[in-house]
Chain A
């Protein structure tokens, strides 16, 4: 395999923290593995839904949420491996075109939780191009901090659907485990979003 012209250089925790510092009242879905930990490291929040399993699901959870809450921003933070498992969801989202949905991909070009095996994203597969082909309003590969700073306001506010694929290093950051009990996570999310009465009905 030939050496890459540009090795991923962004810090995933800095990417997550930069976006989530500007989240406002956004609803956040975090995909399994490191994206859950990145999201938790930026500060736990009742409107974070951490998906500890169901690999491939994060983007579609985001679509259901975005259609149910069209006035709220929905930010999905996922990994390249997870999005590769659910590529069809790009087509499904592209057809629905929710303008309040942004997909943030922490793309380290590897399966980081299972031994750092190479992922397709490091071998020529471009998720941003795929999102554009599926009809996303905008999508890009992001390699520098300057680009990160340009993209943060778009992720939290520009018309979607958007896909921002951040090329991050394989550094996983310090441990940051969010809550993991499913009924607790879904209850507190619904309580924060919909209120006590709806959450308990």
Chain B
């Protein structure tokens, strides 16, 4: 059921390195755990744990003003927290790469995850974020690579939504 999260995490980490991403603000998610471990042990990157996701949007703006690229890692539950702050990214045309692991879709157990997860793509898009969904393990790396190029080259926020099918379904009571 669960894909090999480590394989795409390694590929995505390599893409972030290729794109000279140096600041990686994040909120944890089980589906991102492998990538967070890789980033945290990479001396070329600074993994920055946040208390809420919009901090990472603001931090990415500061990083880019200072000449560094960043990637924001979050779970779909936190996408809503970013909404007002994303207005700054759209208004200022700042590159922002968001890697969002999804809850509330493939095989979800917890009904409370459903509303925000199902609205994630729509609310991000409403704020001017270009949303690209990934449903298959082998698509994660190429989509993240394309999203990084798109974001950096066109000065826009791009979110890659990584399906629960790929990121892994949380199991309860086991």
Once the chains are docked, how many angstroms separate the CA of A27 from the CA of B60? 16
Contacts of B51 in A (CB 8 A): 88-89, 91-92
Interface residue range, chain B: 20 to 34
**A56 within 8 A of partner (CB):** yes
Best-surrounded residue of A61, A86, A190 (most CB of chain B within 10 A): A61
A153 at the interface (CB under 8 A from B): no
Contacting residues, chain A, for B52 (C-beta < 8 A):
88
Q: A71 → chain B, closest Cβ, in Å?
A: 11
Using CB atoms, name the residue of chain B closest to A186: B92
B84 interfacial by beta-carbon distance below 8 Å: yes
As a 0/1 sequence over residues 129 to 158 of chain A, the CB contacts with chain B under 8 angstroms (1 = contact) are 000000000000000000000000000000
Cα–Cα, bound, A53→B91 (Å): 10
- B48 CB to closest chain A CB (Å) equals 6
| Residue in contact with B84 in the complex, picked from A54, A65, A182, A189, CB distance below 8 Å | A54
Min CB–CB distance B51 → chain A (angstroms): 3
Q: Could you tell me the distance between the alpha carbons of A29 and B93 in the complex, rounded to whole angstroms?
A: 17
Contact with A along B22-58 (1 / 0, CB 8 A): 1100000000000000000000001011111011111
The main secondary structure of chain A at its interface with chain B is helix
Cβ of A195 to closest chain B Cβ, rounded Å: 10
Is B58 a contact of A64 with CB atoms below 8 Å? Answer: yes
The reply to whether A67 and B91 form a contact with Cβ atoms under 8 Å apart is no
Q: Is the interface of B mostly helix, strand, loop or mixed?
A: helix
**Residue of A49, A64, A190, A194 with most partner-chain B CB within 10 A:** A64
Which of B23, B65, B67, B87 contacts A49, CB < 8 Å?
B65
* Chain B positions 77-106 with a Cβ under 8 Å from a chain A Cβ: 84-85, 87-88, 91-94
What's the minimum C-beta distance from B58 to chain A, rounded to whole angstroms? Answer: 4
Which of B22, B49, B62, B94 lies in contact with A60, CB distance below 8 A? B62
**A40 interfacial by beta-carbon distance below 8 Å:** no
Q: Which residue of B lies closest to A89 (CB)?
A: B55
Query: Residues on A close to B: CB < 8 A?
Result: 27, 29, 49, 51, 53-69, 86, 88-89, 91-92, 95-96, 182-183, 185-186, 189-190, 193-194, 198
Q: List 14 A-B contacts (CB under 8 A).
A: A49-B65, A54-B85, A57-B85, A60-B59, A60-B62, A64-B68, A65-B65, A67-B48, A67-B63, A68-B65, A68-B68, A88-B55, A96-B48, A186-B93
Q: Lowest 3 CB-CB distances: which A-B pairs, in order? A: A64-B62, A68-B66, A88-B51
